[in-house]
A = this chain, B = another copy of it.
Amino acid sequence: MPAPNRFLEYIGAHAGRFIERLADAVAFPSVSAEAAFRTDVIRMAHYLEDQLKSLGVRTKLVDLGKHVLDGEELPLPPVILGSTGDDPKKKTILIYGHYDVQPACKNDGWGTEPFKLVVDSETGRLIGRGSTDDKGAILGWLNVLEAHKSLGLELPVNLRFCFEGMEEVGSDGLDDLIRNEVKKGKESWFYGVDCVCISDNYWLNTRTPCLTYGLRGIAYFKITVSGPASDLHSGAFGGMVHEPLMDLVALMGKLASPDGQILIPGVADMVPPPDEEGKKLYESLDSSVADVEEAAGAKITRSDDKVPVLMARMRNPSLSLHAIEGALGARTTIPATVTGKFSLRLVPPQTPESVIPLVLEHLYSEFAKLNSKNKLLVERGGDGRPWMDHQHWNYQAAIKASEAVYKRRPDLTREGGSIPVTLTFAESLGVNVLLLPMGRGDDGAQYALSRCQMNVAVLIYILGSTNEKLDRSNFIEGSKLMGTYLYEVAAISV
Contact = CB atoms under 8 A, between A and B. Distances in A.
Given A230-B447, A258-B246, A447-B231, A239 B325 contact: no
A149 interface: no
B245 A324 contact: yes
A48 B119 CA distance: 69
Interface hub of A229, A328, A343 (most chain B Cβ within 10 A): A328
A393 to B, nearest CB: 28
Nearest to A256: B246
A205 to B, nearest CB: 13
Contact of A345 (B238, B260, B327): B238
Interface stretch (A57-65, A424-432, A455-463, A477-485): A455-463
A154 interface: no
Interface string A316-338: 11111111110111111111000
A132 to B, nearest CB: 15
A370 interface: yes
Contacts of A334: 320-322
A300 B415 contact: no
A443 interface: no
A390 to B, nearest CB: 19
A298 B329 contact: no
B296 A228 contact: yes
A324 B322 contact: no
A234 B322 contact: yes
Interface string A231-264: 1111111111111011101101100111110000
A interface, size bucket: 35 or more
Contact of A250 (B253, B298, B312, B463): B253
A327 B332 contact: no
A14 interface: no
Nearest to A241: B300
A123 interface: no
A328 B323 contact: yes
A107 interface: no
A21 B297 CA distance: 63
Given A228-B297, A298-B228, A463-B231, A417 B236 contact: yes
Given A232-B296, A301-B373, A329-B461, A318 B416 contact: no
B345 A298 contact: no
A381 B320 CA distance: 29
Contacts of A240: 292, 296, 301-302, 309-310, 312-313, 416
Given A232-B447, A249-B249, A456-B456, A243 B296 contact: no
A331 B373 contact: no
A363 interface: no
Interface string A386-429: 00000000000000000000000000000111100000000000
A449 B343 CA distance: 30
B447 A313 contact: no
A371 B300 CA distance: 11
Contacts of A415: 235-236
A26 to B, nearest CB: 22
A218 interface: yes
Contacts of A295: 236-237
A114 interface: no
Interface string A426-453: 0000000000000000000011110000
Contact of A238 (B259, B318, B333): B318
A259 B371 CA distance: 8
A54 interface: no
28 contacts: A218-B332, A227-B300, A228-B296, A230-B297, A231-B463, A232-B447, A234-B320, A236-B313, A238-B313, A238-B318, A239-B313, A239-B318, A240-B296, A242-B302, A243-B258, A243-B320, A246-B258, A258-B370, A258-B372, A300-B373, A322-B329, A322-B334, A323-B327, A324-B327, A328-B459, A328-B461, A329-B461, A331-B341
Q: Which 4 A-B pairs have the closest CB atoms?
A: A229-B297, A235-B417, A239-B318, A239-B312
Given A240-B313, A300-B373, 16 more contacts: A216-B235, A229-B298, A235-B418, A239-B260, A239-B313, A240-B309, A241-B301, A241-B302, A249-B324, A259-B371, A301-B373, A322-B335, A323-B328, A323-B333, A329-B461, A333-B463
